[in-house]
Amino acid sequence: MTENVRVVHYLNQFFGQIGGEEKAGIAPFDTPGHVGPGMAFDAAFGDEAEIVGTVICGDTYFGENVERATREVVALIEKYRPDLLIAGPAFNAGRYGIACGAVCAAVAEGFGIPVVAGMYPENPGVDMYRKNVHIVETGGSAAGMRKAVPLMARLGLKLVKGELTDSVADGYLSRGIRRNYFAQRRGSERAVEMLVKKLSGEDFATEYPMPQFDRVEPSPPVADISMATIALVTSGGIVPKGNPDRIESSSASKFGKYDLEGIEDLTGETHQTAHGGYDPVYANEDPDRVLPVDVMRDLEREGAIGKLHRYFYSTVGNGTSVANSKKYAAAIAKELVEAGVDGVILTST
């Protein structure tokens, strides 16, 4: 099958079937043929292409050594002499998405071959790499694998063949690139057709989608921080030991409100992280590393702030949608305003 398109597949430690977060520090390595979801890709390619090699790297390793990890991964890819690189799909896993984007961008620039990744639109890797990489839109979790794989495979083959692609028809996220072409009908006809569909409540696709910018007006500064009540809020998943509200480790469906009365600092015996998107070891050893209650108590004693609010709020940002995040923020903000809180320190991971 040497005449087939040669494909290399990039995966993280989870989809590479090495392990979960405990294996996220693994350095890049390769293996011939397909692994895990690569089997579905091989089926989708049919007789036109085959995965000749798979490169696997831990998300933490890549995130902590981006430049070095990119070089190492690209070197492993190069030895397979690929015609196409497929990365992921990463769905809404942020570190995985960033790694997929970085690898694809480096391979496209270094080898001049087509590259295709798959991500949920809210994955941070999308905004970072959409101009350099064809990124097929996927669902937020691996439940969308069945739909994502055929789209990625089909788009990859079209790119290898040099065929024209369309973001709407081919299912990839717009790259912000405009091309001139000769349309079969005049612009006025197309515009009237879209208007009629819009007035009739029918689906239509604009030829020039406008960007949407989320604007947030900054709040005025705290007038006197030494008299202010400051609250702690985190998306780093810090919760009382045992995670009493059962906040999910990914795609959180809720947030928690927890009492700090009489607590001078957080310890591994009393608190933990529910977050599934980063190595929990250091956070579980000392939860103050994510939610700095100890430092806030010091500032309180020194008179640098008025006082620390009695309750802290926590959820998990890993894979959690923007819509849910906004909903949680509105609910938390309402309670804080009603409690007379003057300022908030929002921590992440």
Q: Is the preceding peptide bond at 89 cis, omega within 30 degrees of 0?
A: yes
- The 10s digit of each residue's pLDDT in 305-345 is 999 999 999 999 887 777 788 899 999 999 999 999 999 99
Ramachandran class of 339: left when φ > 0, alpha when ψ lies in -120 to 50, beta otherwise: alpha
Q: Could you give the C-alpha distances from 3 to 6, 49, 84, 155, in angstroms and in order?
A: 8, 9, 14, 19
Mean pLDDT of the chain: 91
Using left for φ > 0, alpha for ψ between -120 and 50, and beta otherwise, residue 177 falls in: beta
pTM score, whole prediction: 0.64
Query: CA-based angle 167:168:173, to the nearest 5?
Result: 45
CATH for the stretch 5-170:
3.40.50.2300
SS3 per-residue string spanning 107-147: HHHHHCCCEEEEECCCCHHHHHHCCCCEEEECCCCHHHHHH
Closest alpha carbon to 135 in 163, 161, 112, 108: 108
134-137 sheet: strands from edge to edge: 29-32, 49-57, 5-12, 84-91, 115-119, 134-137
Which among 100, 72, 97 is positioned nearest to 85, based on CA atoms?
100
pLDDT for the residue 165: 86
Q: Is the pLDDT of residue 101 over 60?
A: yes
pLDDT of res. 2: 45
Tell me the mean pLDDT in the region 83-100: 93
Taking alpha carbons only, the member of 111, 157, 114, 120 closest to residue 132 is: 114
pLDDT of residue 228: 96
DSSP output for 217-249: PPPPPPS-GGG-EEEEEESB-EEETT-TT---S
**Which residues belong to CATH 3.40.50.2300 in the chain?**
5-170
Residues 6+ apart with CB under 8 A from 261: 310
Task: Give dist(CA 59, CA 320) in Å, integer.
Answer: 18
Average pLDDT over residues 12-39: 93
> What's the pLDDT band for 211 if we cut at 50, 70, 90?
low
Element (H, E) at 336: helix 322-338
